[in-house]
Amino acid sequence: MSTKASVDRYLAALNGGDADTIAACVTEDFVNEHTSVLGHSRFGRAAYRAALPAFLGAFVGLCYDIEDVIVEDDRAAVAYRMSFGWVAADGTTRPVSVRGVFRFQVRNGLIAHRVDYWDSGDFNRQTAT
């Protein structure tokens, strides 16, 4: 499977919201690296899979709209707009939209390393009560 096809499969899995399908797109030694202050890095498929239900539950209707994709050999960079509903303390759901960039390294058709760059300040601004 090509790098582009592997990345497309992973992004489609994220948008599909099924934790097992998402985890099946990454290597056993997967590194999920977050650069944002609010992000949480994970190491290994099992740790990543274990964190997915809470992540998917917190980001209601999560959707990554792809703005641009650059692929070179086993690497890819994907600019995205992440949209979701955030349940506020008062129980209302607020729409949130945050731009970011994924940087991927692919090995044997699976995502081996993902670095996620997104603006946690923008997230805080949109979710503040």
Q: What is the pLDDT along the chain (129 residues), one digit of tens a residue?
A: 899 999 999 999 999 999 999 999 999 999 999 887 667 889 999 999 999 999 898 889 999 999 999 999 999 999 999 999 998 888 889 999 999 999 999 999 999 999 999 988 888 899 886
DSSP one-letter string for 70-101: EEETTEEEEEEEEEEEEE-TTS-EEEEEEEEE
- Look up residue 86 and give its DSSP letter: E
Q: Which pLDDT value is given to residue 119? A: 86
Question: Mind listing the domains of the chain with CATH numbers?
Answer: 3-127 (3.10.450.50)
| Whole-angstrom distance, CA of residue 20 vs CA of residue 105 | 20
- Look up residue 25 and give its DSSP letter: T
Other beta carbons less than 10 A from residue 71's beta carbon: 17
Q: Which pLDDT value is given to residue 129? A: 65
Q: Is there a contact between 119 and 97 (Cβ–Cβ < 8 Å)?
A: no
Token pair, residue 31, equals: 């590194």
Q: Which of 105, 49, 95 is nearest to 74 (CA)?
A: 105
- Answering whether pTM is above 0.85, one says yes
**Could you tell me the CA-to-CA distances from 86 to 61, 74, 102, 118 in Å, in that order?**
9, 34, 21, 16
